[in-house]
C-alpha cells in the first residue's frame, strides 16, 4: 500500500523511484477491484471524476467517527480538532500548487463555483459596458457560461481565441484579440475534451504584458502535471478535488493575495463576517470572506488525504507514467481502421477523444460498457469545441495513474468489437 503521511516522512513508503508499481497503486483503490457486466472494471472516465484511494475514504470516515463538529466557531475539543484538520488542508493545498500564503486558498464547492466567484466579484468590480473578456475555443462550459452571464449583466463582450485542427490555441490569434478593452483572460490549462495542454505560461505572459489579469481553469491540469502558481504567475487558478482523487463537493480558488483582498464578497452569510449589526456588516479577512456558511468539512479533510496520497506517489512520476499510457493509447487506437482521434496536440494530457466511423459515440459507449469499460460519450460540456470539429459528440477515454497498458488494450479490443457489431 502507498501510505501517505506527508507530515511524518519516516512513515512514507515510496515505490522504487525508477519503477511505477501500478498494481500496488490499484490495490489502494477499492472500487477498481470489481467486475462490471461480468468483466473486470476498466475505468477510463477519469476526466469526469477520479476514483478515491482508501486513504481518502478512511480520512472521511475517521472524521465522522471521531472529530465531527462545526469549525472556526466552537471552543470545545471536537470543534478545535475539526478546525485544525480543515485548516491543515489549506496549507497542503498552498504547498501543492506553490502558492505563497494560505489566505490565497479559498475552499469552494467546485471549479465551476470558483469561476463564478471571479466572474461575479472581479468581473463586477472592473467590467464596464464594451469591455472584453477573452476565452478560447477549448473551454468547458464552466469557463464559458459564467462569462456570458457577466456579459449579459454588464454589457461586456466575449471574445474567443481560435484553435487549429490539432486542438491547439493559435497564439498569434490570441495575441491579436487582446485589445485595450480586454479586462480578463480566462483559459483552460488542459482541455477536458481533447487533452490539449495549453502553453499557459506564455498565455499568461502575453496577457500580463498588456496588464490583463488571467484566470486559469486548472480542473484537468492538477491531476496530470505539477502546477506552480507562483511560477505561472496566474492571477486566479481554479480546480476541483474530485478530479484529483479527492471527494466531490470541494473546489479551490487560488487568487493572488492583494487581488483577492480587494474584491467584494461573493455570498453573504455566516463565517464570512467579522461583525454584523442591522446598521451594517464588517466582512471577514481572507480567505474566510469568500467562505460563507458551513463548508464541506469532511470533504476538505478527505481532499487533504488525496493530496498526501498524490505526493507520496509523486506528481512527476505520475506525469511520466501517464505519458507512456497516452502514447500507447494513441498508437493503439489510431492503428484501428475507422477510428479517428480528435485532438492531436503536441502537448497532451492522458485524454483520448475519438470517433468510430459510422457509429454514434453513444453506441460505442454502450457496447464498451457491456464489456466493463467505462468511457465518456457526448459533448463533454464543450459544445462550441465539438462544433469546431463539426461533431456533436465523441467517445473519450481519460486515463489516471492507476490505469494500465492492458486496460488500453482492452479498450482497443472493445472498439474492434464495436466495429464488428456495426458491420464495419
- What residue has cell string 472500487? 31
Determine, following the binding rule CB under 6 A, whether residue 142 of this chain makes contact with ligand PMP.
yes
Q: What is the DSSP string of 209-237?
A: HTT-EEEEE-TTTTTTS---HHHHT-SEE
CA-based radius of gyration for the chain: 22
Contact with ligand PMP (CB under 6 A): which of 137, 220, 330, 394? 220
- Rounded to a whole number of angstroms, the minimum distance from the CB of residue 199 to ligand PMP is 16
- Rounded to a whole number of angstroms, the minimum distance from the CB of residue 86 to ligand PMP is 20
Contact with ligand PMP (CB under 6 A): which of 67, 217, 235, 407? 217
By three-state DSSP, how is residue 259 classified?
helix
Contact with ligand PMP (CB under 6 A): which of 2, 150, 151, 219? 219
Closer residue to ligand PMP in complex, CB, 240/296: 240
Determine, following the binding rule CB under 6 A, whether residue 192 of this chain makes contact with ligand PMP.
yes
Site for ligand PMP (CB under 6 A): how many residues? Answer: 14
Determine, following the binding rule CB under 6 A, whether residue 112 of this chain makes contact with ligand PMP.
yes
Q: Look at residues 424, 394, 402 and name the one whose alpha carbon lies nearest to residue 193.
A: 394
Instruction: State the cell numbers at 39.
Output: 468483466
Contact with ligand PMP (CB under 6 A): which of 46, 51, 83, 110? 110
Binding-residue pattern over the window 239 to 268 for ligand PMP, x denoting contact by CB under 6 A: -x----------------------------
**CA-to-CA separations, 168 to 165, 346, 383, in angstroms, rounded:** 7, 8, 16
Residue 160 and residue 185 in contact, taking contact as beta carbons nearer than 8 Å: no
What is the spatial distance between Cα 151 and Cα 130, in angstroms, rounded to a whole number?
A: 9
- What residue has cell string 477520479? 50
Determine, following the binding rule CB under 6 A, whether residue 136 of this chain makes contact with ligand PMP.
no
Q: Which stretch binds ligand PMP (CB under 6 A): 124-132, 135-143, 281-289, 354-362?
A: 135-143
Determine, following the binding rule CB under 6 A, whether residue 46 of this chain makes contact with ligand PMP.
no
- Residues making up the chain, counted from first to last: 424
Strand partners, 215: 186, 236
Q: Which stretch binds ligand PMP (CB under 6 A): 21-29, 109-117, 261-269, 323-331?
A: 109-117
- Rounded to a whole number of angstroms, the minimum distance from the CB of residue 26 to ligand PMP is 24
Contact with ligand PMP (CB under 6 A): which of 188, 196, 198, 225? 188
Contact with ligand PMP (CB under 6 A): which of 94, 140, 289, 388? 140
**CB count, 10 Å around CB of 399?**
27
- Rounded to a whole number of angstroms, the minimum distance from the CB of residue 248 to ligand PMP is 8
- What residue has cell string 449583466? 153
What is the spatial distance between Cα 43 and Cα 408, in angstroms, rounded to a whole number?
A: 10
Closer residue to ligand PMP in complex, CB, 251/287: 251
State the sign of the Cα–Cα–Cα–Cα dihedral 137, 139, 140, 142. negative
What is the spatial distance between Cα 132 and Cα 90, in angstroms, rounded to a whole number?
A: 33
- Rounded to a whole number of angstroms, the minimum distance from the CB of residue 19 to ligand PMP is 30
Q: Look at residues 397, 403, 402, 388 and name the one whose alpha carbon lies nearest to residue 418.
A: 397
Closer residue to ligand PMP in complex, CB, 243/312: 243
Instruction: State the cell numbers at 22.
Output: 501500478
- Rounded to a whole number of angstroms, the minimum distance from the CB of residue 110 to ligand PMP is 3
Determine, following the binding rule CB under 6 A, whether residue 137 of this chain makes contact with ligand PMP.
no
- Rounded to a whole number of angstroms, the minimum distance from the CB of residue 359 to ligand PMP is 24
Based on the residue annotation, tell me whether 151 is a catalytic residue of this protein.
no
Of 333, 381, 408, 412, which is the active-site residue? 381
Closer residue to ligand PMP in complex, CB, 48/80: 48
What is the spatial distance between Cα 170 and Cα 163, in angstroms, rounded to a whole number?
A: 5
Q: Look at residues 341, 377, 304, 287 and name the one whose alpha carbon lies nearest to residue 103.
A: 287
**Residues annotated as catalytic (active site), given as ranges:** 381
Site for ligand PMP, rule CB under 6 A: 47, 110-112, 140, 142-143, 188, 192, 217, 219-220, 240, 381
Amino acid at each position: 500500500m502507498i501510505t501517505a503521511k506527508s507530515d511524518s516522512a519516516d512513515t512514507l513508503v515510496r515505490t522504487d523511484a525508477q519503477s511505477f508499481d501500478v498494481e500496488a497503486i490499484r490495490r489502494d483503490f477499492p472500487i477498481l477491484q470489481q467486475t462490471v457486466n461480468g468483466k473486470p472494471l476498466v475505468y477510463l472516465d477519469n476526466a469526469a471524476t477520479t476514483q478515491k484511494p482508501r486513504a481518502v475514504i478512511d480520512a472521511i470516515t475517521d472524521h465522522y467517527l471521531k472529530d465531527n463538529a462545526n469549525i472556526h466557531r466552537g471552543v470545545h475539543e471536537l470543534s478545535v480538532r475539526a478546525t485544525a484538520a480543515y485548516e491543515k488542508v489549506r496549507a497542503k493545498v498552498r504547498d501543492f500548487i506553490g502558492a505563497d500564503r494560505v489566505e490565497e486558498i479559498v475552499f469552494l464547492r467546485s471549479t465551476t463555483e470558483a469561476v463564478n466567484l471571479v466572474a461575479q466579484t472581479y468581473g463586477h468590480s472592473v467590467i464596464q459596458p464594451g469591455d472584453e473578456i477573452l476565452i478560447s475555443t477549448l473551454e468547458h462550459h464552466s469557463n464559458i457560461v459564467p462569462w456570458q452571464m457577466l456579459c449579459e449583466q454588464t454589457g461586456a463582450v466575449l471574445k474567443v481565441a481560435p484553435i487549429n485542427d490539432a486542438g491547439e490555441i493559435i497564439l498569434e490569434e490570441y495575441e491579436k484579440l487582446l485589445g485595450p478593452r480586454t479586462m480578463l483572460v480566462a483559459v483552460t490549462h488542459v482541455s477536458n475534451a481533447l487533452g490539449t495542454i495549453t502553453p499557459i505560461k506564455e498565455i499568461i505572459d502575453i496577457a500580463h504584458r498588456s496588464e490583463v489579469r488571467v484566470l486559469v481553469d486548472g480542473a484537468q491540469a492538477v491531476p496530470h502535471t505539477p502546477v506552480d502558481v507562483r511560477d505561472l504567475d496566474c492571477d486566479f487558478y481554479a480546480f476541483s478535488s474530485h478530479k484529483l482523487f479527492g471527494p466531490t463537493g470541494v473546489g479551490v480558488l487560488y487568487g493572488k493575495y492583494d487581488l483577492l483582498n480587494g474584491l467584494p464578497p461573493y455570498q453573504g452569510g455566516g463565517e464570512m463576517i467579522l461583525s454584523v449589526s442591522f446598521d451594517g456588516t464588517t466582512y471577514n479577512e481572507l480567505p474566510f470572506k469568500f467562505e460563507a456558511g458551513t463548508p464541506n468539512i469532511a470533504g476538505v479533510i478527505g481532499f487533504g488525504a488525496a493530496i498526501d496520497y498524490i505526493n507520496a506517489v509523486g506528481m512527476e512520476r505520475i506525469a511520466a507514467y501517464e505519458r507512456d499510457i497516452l502514447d500507447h493509447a494513441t498508437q493503439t487506437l489510431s492503428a484501428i481502421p475507422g477510428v479517428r482521434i480528435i485532438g492531436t496536440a503536441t502537448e497532451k494530457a492522458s485524454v483520448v477523444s475519438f470517433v468510430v466511423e459510422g457509429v454514434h459515440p453513444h453506441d460505442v459507449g454502450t457496447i464498451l460498457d457491456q464489456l466493463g469499460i467505462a468511457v465518456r460519450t457526448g459533448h463533454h460540456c464543450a459544445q462550441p469545441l465539438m462544433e469546431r470539429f463539426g461533431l456533436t459528440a465523441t467517445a473519450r477515454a481519460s486515463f489516471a495513474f492507476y490505469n494500465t497498458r492492458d486496460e488500453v488494450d482492452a479498450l482497443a479490443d472493445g472498439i474492434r468489437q464495436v466495429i464488428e457489431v456495426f458491420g464495419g
